[in-house]
Each structure stands twice: as C-alpha cells, then as structure tokens.
Structure 1
Amino acid sequence: MGRILSGEEIAAQIKAELRTRVADLARKGIVPGLAIVRVGEDPSSASYVRQKERAAQGLGLLSTTTVLPTRTSEDELLAVVSSLNEDPRFHGVLVQLPLPPDLSPERVCGTVAPAKDVDCLHPENIGRLVRGDPYLLPCTPHAVQQILHRSGYPPAGKHVVIVGRSALVGRPLSILLSQKGPAGDATVTLCHSATPDLGAFTHQADILVVAVGRPRLVTADMVRAGAVVIDVGVNRVDDPTAPKGYRLVGDTEYEAVGKVAAAITPVPGGVGPVTVAMLLGNTVAACEAQAQPAR
C-alpha cells in the first residue's frame, strides 16, 4: 500500500496556524463570524453543515446556521442572504449546496457579497481567480493544493490529470494548479464524462485528481505506478454490515489503486477535513480584510 495522505493531520496543522491569527484578532476585540444557510433537510447537507459548525466553533469563531424549509422561495432565500451581507457580525456567508431544484445556485451565490464569499462562487471572485489575482481561494481546490504542498508533492513541473469539470472542483483546480508559482506551474489535463478512453489519460498522470462523484470509477489499471492520487469523491454505497446500512467510498478503487500509487488520500478522512479547514481559513482571511481601515 502506498503512503496514505491523512487529511485529518493536515487539517490539524492548518487549524493550529489559524489559531494564532484568531488570537491576534481577539486581542483587537474582533471575532471572525461565519453564517451558513441551509435549505431543506438533505441528510448529507445537514451532516456537512454540522461538521463546518463544529470546526468553526472549535477554532473560536462565531458560527450560526439558518435552516430554511424546502419550499422556501428564491426571493425569500435571497432576502436572508442579503440580510447576512449587511450583518457586521459575519465576515463570511455560505449557502450550502446543492439547493432544491427550483432555486438557482448561480443567482443565490451571486447575491452573496463578494467580500464575504468564503465559498468563492461569486462571479467577481471567479473572475479574480481566472485573472490570477484571487481575493480568496475556493475551498476544495485549495484543499487539494494544500495536501500536495504539505505532503511533499509539489505540482510544479508535473503532469496533473483532473477527472471532473465541475464549477466547484475540477475547473477552478485546473486554473489554480496551472498558474505561475511554486504551488502551481503544473501541466494540467482536464477530463470529463465526454472524454474517450479515460484510462489513456489517467495513466499519464504524475498526479491524478478524481472528482466526479461516481463510486470506484478509477481502477488500478488506469493509474501509473508511482502516481499520487487525490480522491475528492464522497459516495454512499449500500452496506448491510455497516451500522447505518451504508458506507462512504471515493471515486477510486481505494485498496487496489493504493497498491499502485505512491500516495493516496482516503475516503473519508482525506480531502474533506482539509476543505473544512480552508473554509475556516477563508473566514479568518475575510475577517482580516474587513478589519483593515478604509483608505
């Protein structure tokens, strides 16, 4: 088995660094605040939000969650977001995705104030990322970057193959890793559902990132020996032997791929904890930016 890249350990490192910054703000009488909005009772969304709340509170942040019923209208949701934009207690505002099908995530995320957009989904912040002048970095792509950097696998000069072109992970990660600088400078290939002969591309990767939400899509024969594999997928599969009747698996055949790869992230316990840590980091950074005196 290759090296297992523990997201829990990396997240703990990041949180330890953030505690120093939170303490510096506290000495000025400032507490970073994160407001989360969740619509409906999707079990996965509820679980993710609880994880974020616990992590924020454990770091000494102010964190509140507004839960709205599934039948909330778009205008009602936008009014809640606008209210949080104006609330000085909160430096970060996050609307948990996915939303019910009759609500537009583009319109809702576009209503979050860019200065408080800790998910980096506002068009202004997406544009700044593309331009190479980001205000904050999107949480999961930044988590992947941090895992590589802190584990000793810098992407510079490497061929990174990303499977998945979502606006949340694949596309922004391809931009982040291809930009100039020691945390980037990779040659990036972006694959997706319309890519013919996917294995021909994944087998070329020095670093393979899989983020499609399809359990066990990538098999061992699709991975080059010695590659570094970052599995972003989190999928529920039925397992009658598990206490909850299901278990979580990634987008790779973990055991088999792990025997071929030099290193691999587990699911759960890989990218997820670092993503939450990057959300906390964005909230602290947004607080620091908003605390600066106006020029």
Structure 2
Amino acid sequence: MKSTLLSGQEPALEMLQSLRKKIAERRVQLAVVQVGKNLVSSTYIQKKKEAALQAGIAFLTYPISAQAAQKDIMSLVARLGENSAISGIVVQLPLPPHLNSQKILDCIPAEKDPDVLSSRAFGRFALGQSSILPPTVSAMQKLFKTYGIQIAGKRIALVGSGRLVGLPLLVWLAGERATVMNINRKTKNPAALIRQADIVISGTGMPGLIKGSMIKKGAIVVDLGTSVEQGKTAGDVDFKSVAKKAKAVTPVAFCMNLVIVFSAQYLPYLVFLGILGWFALNLRRRILWELAGAAILSRLVITELIRLLWHRARPFVELGFRPLIEHSASASFPSGHAAFFFALSAVVFSHDKKAGTLFFLFSGVIGAARVFSGIHWPSDVLGGAVIGIGSALVVMYFLKNRKIGS
C-alpha cells in the first residue's frame, strides 16, 4: 500500500508565521543553556535557533563546560529567570551524569519554561492548568489536526518514556481519551504490543528501531527520535520497510531534504532536456517559435517587469533562516522557474496532451520544491504558473492568427 507522508514542514511554517505576527510588537528573547558538547543536542539547538529567527525571537546561547559544578549551573539559570529581558529559558538535555537535572530545571520559573520541564510547569500541564504545552505535545496536536487524524479511542503505542517526548505525550494522549501502551526497555515482547496499535509514536533515539514487521497494516507511524551516526541524522523508524505497510508515516528528514534539493536545483535541467528531446521528435518551425516566444515573454519580459515594479522579499530573507539551496536575495514574486516551465509545458500540451501533462507535473514538482527549500512563497509559484500558461496562450494565438512559423 502507498503511505501518506505526514510532513511537518507546512504546519511548522504556519505556526512560526502566526507566532511572528503575535509578537511583532514585543522584544522576545530565548536563552538556551548547553552544558558540554553533545552532537544530538547541538543539532536540536541549531534547529531551535533557526525556528526562533523565523519567528522573530532573539536567540541567546550560554555554553558551559561539561565539568561545571551543579551550583554554578543552578546559579546561572536562576539569574536568567530573574532577568526581566529574558522571555524563556531552555536547559538543553541530556545533562552530564554528575548533575541532578531536575534540580537545575526547577530553577526555571514556570512562566519562562517553554519546554515545560520544571516540576511546577509540568504539574500545571498534567492537571490541565497550563497555557503552555510541551513542544512535542504542541507539535503532535498540530500534525494530527492538519491531517485529520483522530486519537480518541485509538490504540496508541508510545515507544519511549523520556522527559522530552514520552512522558508529556503519555499525559496528553491519556487526557485525549486514547488507549495508550507505553513501551520502554523493561517491556516484554514490545513488537507484539506495537503490532496491535492503530498509531505508533517513537521517540527513543535508537536508529531503525521500528521495523515494518512490527506494525500492522494501515497503522499511522510518527518518528520523533533523533540520533547522529557518522555525521548523519537518523530517526527511530526504518522508513523503507514501514512505508510499505503504514497508512501514513512521517518522512525521514535527511532523505526528504535530498529530494527537495534535487527537485529544486537539478530537476529543472532534466525537464528542460526532456522538452528539447520532445521537440527533436516533433521538428516544426511553428513549435520552435511557440516555445521560444512563450519562454521569453513569461520569464524575461513579464516576470522581470513585475520584479522591477515590486520587490517581494524571499522567505529566507524575511524570516531570517538559511534555505536548503543557496540563492541571492532577489525579488521573490513571481517564480521565474514556474513561469518558464509552465510556459513550455503549455506549448507542449497544445500539441501532445500526454507529454504536456507529464511536463506540467514536473513543473509543479519543481515549484513545490522551491517553496519547501525556502526560496519562494507558494503564491510566487502560483503566480509564475499563471504567467507561464497565459504567456503561452498569448504567443500561440498571435502566431496562429499571423501564420508565423507555418
């Protein structure tokens, strides 16, 4: 069966844009304390920094030696808590084994605890008295809502019971009236329990833990685990085997990024070569005039004229993050790639419906990839597509009426 990919990119971007609007008039600062150097922790901190910048939040880091004393770390966190300029405090976990993590976390004031890890903040959350949800819970709530996934009455296998993922999700899922099976290192025959679940959520940090043989057909699988092996980030789920049986599954971030970069940066060359190959099989002067005219009008005339009159900042410029592919900070609207390839596809479609449909599909993939890579807004691609198709229609009508290239 074909699995639906539960991509968190669109809902995440939506949440960040909404947050940016809410705090537009305020000075918000997030302080992150990192004790020692841990590759996974550094990866999380970098992601947090990128998200904070997209939302317009100032991001402050406080690196501390792994050998630091308990009292020194607690003193730093307490001082940050007393600083009125600091809006939120994160102590990045895990901490070195010689430290009492909970005592350090309890130095964070509940109102400045976005991770909801202090005893007071977590207690409020567990009792349903907190306006702040733990990040993992908030992410799951948004993901399930976006894809219309109901959890009430469902059997859910929650693999892992850590403070960051398993425990807050356990509390939340129980409160949402789901039947939760919490699976940990002491659980006997975990595969048999996981196989009974309608939804599987794993957050252990053990790469490839969840195999396709461990889930039932039609299950929904969410991978919340992160680990770093040989410089590569991996999740808990063996995506290849799970995707064959699951109804829906979250994608592997590393693999998805490769697909996005390829589609945004290299697929355009292949599609252009494909169109040239199609033209070589359909050598007619009229088609050459139509292809050239549509490309020039859409990409070099209309697109450039609009960009000259109106400069719209690209997403990575306006939101302050690094895109997946390098790009200049030129005007974003409309998408030149969309205008160019939709124009050529429209010409091909007018002569060959099957080939034209295929090129339209590839043009859409290129446009979507350039949105996901962070260099275009969705409306840029939509505008480019309209310009491209419109330009092709105008050029073909003009050439037909004047019998040029016949």
Question: TM class by shorter-chain length?
Answer: 0.7 to 0.9
CA contact (8 A) 1:248 1:267 kept: no
- Match 1:97 to one of 85, 88, 93: 93
Deviation at residue 20 of structure 1 after TM alignment = 2.0
Matched, 1:39 2:31: no
Give the equivalent residue in structure 2 for 1:18. 19
Q: Matches of 1:7 and 1:201 in 2, distance apart?
A: 27
| TM-score when normalising by structure 1 | 0.81
Which amino acid is the alignment partner of residue 243 of structure 2? G
Q: Matches of 2:42 and 2:166 in 1, distance apart?
A: 24
Which amino acid is the alignment partner of residue 212 of structure 1? T
Secondary structure, in 3 states, of the residue corresponding to 1:153?
coil
Which ranges of structure 2 fall in alignment gaps of 5 or more residues? Answer: 256-406
Secondary structure, in 3 states, of the residue corresponding to 2:17?
helix
Deviation at residue 8 of structure 1 after TM alignment = 1.7
| TM-score when normalising by structure 2 | 0.60
Secondary structure, in 3 states, of the residue corresponding to 1:144?
helix
Give the equivalent residue in structure 2 for 1:273. none
Q: Matches of 1:209 and 1:5 in 2, distance apart?
A: 13
Give the equivalent residue in structure 1 for 2:385. none
Q: Matches of 1:247 and 1:16 in 2, distance apart?
A: 29
Give the equivalent residue in structure 2 for 1:220. 212
Give the equivalent residue in structure 2 for 1:237. 229
- Match 1:264 to one of 245, 249, 267: 249
Secondary structure, in 3 states, of the residue corresponding to 2:161?
coil
Matched, 1:66 2:66: no
Deviating above 3 A after TM superposition, structure 1's stretches of 4 or more consecutive aligned residues are none
Which amino acid is the alignment partner of residue 64 of structure 1? L
Secondary structure, in 3 states, of the residue corresponding to 2:253?
coil
Deviation at residue 264 of structure 1 after TM alignment = 0.6
Q: Matches of 2:102 and 2:146 in 1, distance apart?
A: 33
Q: Matches of 1:269 and 1:141 in 2, distance apart?
A: 23
Which amino acid is the alignment partner of residue 52 of structure 1? K
Deviation at residue 93 of structure 1 after TM alignment = 0.6
Give the equivalent residue in structure 1 for 2:319. none
Matched, 1:253 2:238: yes
Distance 1:141-1:17 versus aligned 2 partners, 3 A rule: same
Q: Matches of 2:92 and 2:168 in 1, distance apart?
A: 18
Which ranges of structure 1 fall in alignment gaps of 5 or more residues? Answer: 239-245, 271-295
The structure with more helix, counted as a fraction of residues: 2
Which amino acid is the alignment partner of residue 241 of structure 2? A
Deviation at residue 82 of structure 1 after TM alignment = 0.9
CA contact (8 A) 1:164 1:190 kept: yes
Q: Matches of 1:194 and 1:46 in 2, distance apart?
A: 29
Map 1:100-139 to 2 at 5 A.
100-139=96-135
Deviation at residue 49 of structure 1 after TM alignment = 1.5
Map 1:62-211 to 2 at 5 A.
62-179=58-175, 184-211=176-203
Which amino acid is the alignment partner of residue 264 of structure 1? V
Q: Matches of 1:213 and 1:61 in 2, distance apart?
A: 28
CA contact (8 A) 2:90 2:115 kept: yes
Q: Matches of 1:237 and 1:79 in 2, distance apart?
A: 34
Deviation at residue 43 of structure 1 after TM alignment = 2.7
CA contact (8 A) 1:120 1:126 kept: yes
CA contact (8 A) 1:207 1:227 kept: yes
CA contact (8 A) 1:234 1:268 kept: no
Distance 1:232-1:221 versus aligned 2 partners, 3 A rule: same
**1:202-254 C-alpha deviation (Å, 9 max, x unpaired):** 1111111011222211211111111110011112234xxxxxxx422221211
Give the equivalent residue in structure 1 for 2:298. none
**1:275-294 C-alpha deviation (Å, 9 max, x unpaired):** xxxxxxxxxxxxxxxxxxxx
The structure with more strand, counted as a fraction of residues: 1
Which stretch of structure 1 is more off in the superposition, 132-141 or 168-177? 132-141
Q: Matches of 1:266 and 1:159 in 2, distance apart?
A: 22
Total equivalences in the alignment: 254
Deviation at residue 269 of structure 1 after TM alignment = 6.6
Secondary structure, in 3 states, of the residue corresponding to 2:244?
helix
Distance 1:153-1:199 versus aligned 2 partners, 3 A rule: same
CA contact (8 A) 2:40 2:227 kept: no
Deviation at residue 190 of structure 1 after TM alignment = 1.1
Give the equivalent residue in structure 2 for 1:287. none
Q: Matches of 1:231 and 1:120 in 2, distance apart?
A: 21
Distance 1:91-1:269 versus aligned 2 partners, 3 A rule: farther
Which amino acid is the alignment partner of residue 193 of structure 2? F
Once the two structures are aligned, what percentage of the paired residues are identical?
33
Q: Matches of 2:109 and 2:253 in 1, distance apart?
A: 32
Q: Matches of 1:55 and 1:177 in 2, distance apart?
A: 26
Matched, 1:2 2:6: no
Distance 1:119-1:165 versus aligned 2 partners, 3 A rule: same
Secondary structure, in 3 states, of the residue corresponding to 2:193?
helix
Q: Matches of 2:142 and 2:182 in 1, distance apart?
A: 20
